[in-house]
Amino acid sequence: MQKPSAWITATARAAHQLYDEPRILNDPLALRILGPEREAELRADARRQQHPLAAAMRATMAVRARLAEDSAQGAHQYVILGAGLDTYAYRTTSTAAAIFEADLPAMLQWKRDRLRATGIAEPAHLRYVATDFTDGRLLDDLQQQGFDAAQPACFSWLGVSMYLRPDEVMGTLREMADCAPGSSIVFDYCVHRQHLTDNERAGLDFVAASLAAQGEPLQSSFEPHLLEHMLRHHGYRQIEHFGADELHARYGARLSGIFRLIRATV
């Protein structure tokens, strides 16, 4: 099983290594995990990669991954929810943290097949967690693989919430709020269209139609202040919003306001 969104994300991260300077995210495995055929296609795709939409996609994927990885520094447990073809666990030089990759069983198997095919070793400090964000068993599934809910953890949840219903999104965030004080989660979400400009609404409609045609329709969007209210209700003490302006100031990339990031700490 492979999801189009996982390939899109992985390809954008790989293209960032080839076509952007300076790099926001330095990922030496991003091209390799695609496999030689896809890597060759991407290297031959320079003309299309110059299109503003392609550049914006690369920036979005690089920035959100960079924020999550920056947030994970110093964490003793790092959990990548909806891991897809994320390569952090395979390129980090630190072995001090236990790393967990959580995804649907078929997605994890597909990833591990890709790792074997491309010769990328699975590190000893990594645990794979088969789970489904719609069934409310995420913490149980993590603990079965050695996750310690009594110790603080850092969670990354990127490119997932928009494909879930609002109640499913809040259910996962509620589970994370039950972790030890000091635990945090970085996640992105689709902003309710009332907060978007006309150009951003047109962009959202284009993205939504493209994803729906690939079998992955967008299912949720949130009003930022209401989302913060719900997070605080579930026990998050500190909420940091990262919109286009904040991310530009931090990483130098110009992004659309369609998707935003939050770092929430228990």
**Mean pLDDT calculated for residue range 112-130:** 96
Rounded distance, CA 138 to CA 86, Å? Answer: 19
Please report, for the domain that includes residue 156, its CATH number: 3.40.50.150
The DSSP annotation for 195-262 comes to: GS-HHHHHHHHHHHHHHHHTT------B-HHHHHHHHHHTT--EEEEE-HHHHHHHH-----SSEEEE
Highest mean pLDDT: which range of 16-20, 53-57, 194-198: 16-20
3-state helix, strand, coil in the chain (%, to 5): 50, 15, 35
Q: What is the mean pLDDT of the chain?
A: 95
**Mean pLDDT calculated for residue range 229-239:** 97
**Mean pLDDT calculated for residue range 47-72:** 94
Query: Which residues, including other chains, have CB under 8 Å from residue 56's CB and lie 6 or more apart?
Result: 254, 255, 256
Residue 97 Cα distances to 64, 100, 133, 187, 235, angstroms: 21, 10, 23, 20, 25
Asked if 62 and 138 count as a contact pair (C-beta separation under 8 A), the reply is: no
Collapsing DSSP to helix, strand or coil, 90 comes out as helix
pLDDT at res. 94: 81
pTM for the model stands at 0.95
* High-pLDDT (> 90) share of the chain, %: 92
pLDDT at res. 148: 96
Asked if 128 and 145 count as a contact pair (C-beta separation under 8 A), the reply is: yes
- List, for residues 184-197, the tens digit of each pLDDT value: 999 999 999 999 99
Higher pLDDT, 94 or 37: 37
Whether 173 has a pLDDT exceeding 80, the answer reads yes
What's the domain range around 29? 4-265
pLDDT at res. 145: 97
Strand partners, 265: 184, 238
Q: Hey, what are 73's tokens? A: 């520094």
- List, for residues 189-222, the tens digit of each pLDDT value: 999 999 999 999 998 999 899 999 999 999 999 9
* Model confidence band, residue 172 (pLDDT cutoffs 50, 70, 90): very high
Rounded distance, CA 66 to CA 230, Å? Answer: 26
Rounded distance, CA 237 to CA 181, Å? Answer: 9
Overall domain count for the chain: 1
